[in-house]
Chain A
Amino acid sequence: MSYLSRSPWILHYDATSCNGCDIEVLACLTPMYDVERFGIINTGNPKHADIFLLTGSVNEQNREVVRNLYDQMPNPKVVVAIGICATSGGVFRECYNVAGGIDKIIPVDVYVPGCAARPESIIDGIVMALGILERKRTEMISGDKGVQPELQQGGKAQ
């Protein structure tokens, strides 16, 4: 096991969340759940983050922002979509301004369903993401690509 999975730093971005899922994400940091036990830190800075937590669906205003934040994270990195909105757009998917789930814009590695997603499942999701993070790192080293291919501007993931 590398150090990566022992020190996952998080970037949390509120796309078009109703704030329900955000509150749950923050609840994970409280003494009740205390994710810092696992070395998880909420950094608030893509350049320091390994895991990208998104809540809410993507709308037309912030699709560029989501992509930009993703690009600014150093590899290896994983994306976790929190809540049903982030997964598929949820109840808002038909809205005129909503583009859909996060995977419309960037590749998502873990989907955490729920409305709102419970802290336990969020933590579960992150732990699952750690495995993927490890895998991506091995790929990064063995592929010797050093750098993962970037998303093309306007391109759609997977």
Chain B
Amino acid sequence: MISLIGIAVFILLAPVIGGLIAGVDRRISARMQGRVGPPVLQPFYDVGKLFEKEITVANETQRFYAFSYFVFMIFTGALFFSGGNILLVIFALTLAQIFLVLGAYSAYSPYSHVGAERELIQIMAYEPMVILTAVGFYVVTKSFDVATIALFDQPLVLFLPGIFAGFIYILTIKLRKSPFDISTSHHAHQEIVKGVTTEFSGPTLGIIEVTHWYETVFLLGFVYLFFAFSPIIGIIAVILVYLLELVIDNASARVKWQFVMKSSWAIAAIVSVVNLAALYYLRMV
């Protein structure tokens, strides 16, 4: 089931697409705020710049964590786009995230430390919903394999409307968009400076940026699965979802972590119980 093409395409194209998405994102955000905004290629300039800088570290181990984060994020995405087991994909994603958190912890800096704690709270907040999304896929398609799920000939979103809504909710956390950008953000000035990434600098930070691109593409791939019955509708849906996230991002202010945690758990619990129970009921009838 493992398609090498999927892996190769992901590894080569994801950073390009991810970077472009980030560029368009900044551009559209700027327009929403009545500004001109940076060039679409700006994220690439940023990362290029970071790699031109001197290597500075808070400690020796930091680079290892950043690198591991990078490697496992690619692993996650590659596994996903090659049609692997979706639960395994989620576990690999968690592993990658944990490496980022550990990198932040290792720095012994108050800002990155608070960032790390909040990042963990974020993970705790979105993790159940991600797993339950996979479970939802399974209940409908009888398979955990992305390849099989993607080939399902009916629109999954019709079977899983609640789970889809819940997933969109936590997608805001995953994309680090306001109001849920509690652990680090794309924007300037946050009460905890840059949270988890505070202590990463130069090329190490560059690696983390690229990793974010990979992650964005992977997450949008997840969204696509809901609409995979028709590629065109799927891509349109992904674009619409991203635009929706942008509007949310620009229209809301950051909330406290307590709210992030409570609301995402409440939503995950409600939508999954209702949606899954309905599916079980339908199947029994």
Contact = CB atoms under 8 A, between A and B. Distances in A.
Direct contact of A and B (CB under 8 A): yes
Interface of A: 2-4, 6-7, 9, 29, 31, 34, 36-39, 41-45, 47-48, 50, 74-76, 137, 140, 146-148
Nearest to B48: A3
A39 B30 contact: no
Contacts of B39: 39
A75 B49 CA distance: 11
Contacts of B55: 74
Given A6-B49, A7-B46, A45 B38 contact: no
B37 interface: yes
Contacts of A50: 49, 53
A47 B199 contact: yes
B193 to A, nearest CB: 5
Interface string B130-153: 000000000000000000000000
10 contacts: A7-B46, A31-B35, A38-B38, A39-B42, A47-B56, A47-B201, A50-B53, A74-B53, A74-B201, A75-B53
A147 to B, nearest CB: 6
Contacts of B199: 47
A142 B34 CA distance: 43
Contacts of A4: 49, 52
B200 to A, nearest CB: 7
Contacts of A34: 30, 35-37
B193 A140 contact: no
Given A7-B46, A47-B199, A74-B53, A37 B189 contact: no
A76 B45 contact: no
Contacts of B197: 48
A43 to B, nearest CB: 6
Interface of B: 26, 30, 33-39, 42, 45-46, 48-49, 51-56, 188-190, 193-194, 197-202, 205
Contact of A41 (B34, B48, B188, B193): B188
Contacts of B37: 34, 36-37
Contacts of A42: 188-189
A140 B39 CA distance: 28
A36 B52 contact: no
Contacts of B34: 31
B188 A76 contact: no
Contacts of B49: 2-4, 6-7, 9, 50
Contacts of B190: 44
Contact of A44 (B51, B54, B193, B200): B193
B54 A75 contact: yes
A50 B205 CA distance: 14
B176 to A, nearest CB: 15
Nearest to A140: B54
A50 B194 CA distance: 16
Contact of B54 (A39, A43, A147): A147
Contact of B30 (A2, A36, A147, A148): A36
A113 B66 CA distance: 42
B38 A36 contact: yes
Nearest to A47: B201
Contact of B52 (A2, A9, A147): A2
B45 to A, nearest CB: 4
